[in-house]
Amino acid sequence: MRRVAVKIAYLGDNFAGSQFQPGLRTVEGDVISDVMKISDISEDEMNIKCASRTDKGVNALGNVVVFSTAFDDNFVLLKALNAVSSSIYYRSIASVDTDFNPRYANERIYRYVLPAKGIDLDLAKECASLFEGEHDFAGFCRNDGRPTVINMRSVKIDKKDDVLVIEFRSEHFLWNMIRRIVSAISSVGRNESKMDDAERALNGEAVSFGLARADALTLADVVYENVNFITPAADILSRRAEEERFMLALRTAFFDSL
């Protein structure tokens, strides 16, 4: 048995969140099921650990799960997992030490997609810059007992066609933190709130901007300085993606015709 770290992608609307919950479909639950389908291993032996918790509806392109396996070949393991999985894409893999904890990442990258219509881009960018650097984000999270002082390395906004892509980079984030910040940026950008309102909230005053929808948020990547993830060339993963695109096109055509 050895330990591997695997980067996974999934659409959040398929799951009730990433963490295992009895009686509900979760990302961890599906990973456990997939690994057990391809190998004779118990859940305890697998000892799965996940890098980042994602709420119900939140997507991922690069979350990381770590587990034990008897497979010797990393690429064979990836192919086997993608062959049995229905909603998780196993994208890349690395061998790691037995004491590797995926929670201790060097950086996490999230992206939020926001409709650009009605938003003043310059105001939105100015508001986003308020959240860069070290701040106490107690007013922009759902309190779960963890320290609320975070060093936000960057908040960048790019306009692409009719949407704004807001990218957040930090070592870690708090529960609902990004969705609350996005609501503040959107509110200021639409002139529904003042820049001063966001500043006051960041300074500890009770100012609420609401909670942005979950399904527009994606965990883009989890970065480790000393872990070398390897992505195989064209394989079953690309074929699965093509099938999903075809089914999405069919569904889109159906609803467009109503």
Which residues are known catalytic residues? 55
193 in Cβ contact with 124 (< 8 Å): no
Torsion sign (Cα): 160, 164, 169, 175: negative
**Token pair belonging to 248:** 């999405």
Beta-ladder partners of 59 = 218
The CA distance from 64 to 80, in Å, is 17
Coil/strand/helix, residue 116: coil
114 in Cβ contact with 21 (< 8 Å): no
195 C-beta neighbours (distance < 10 Å), count: 13
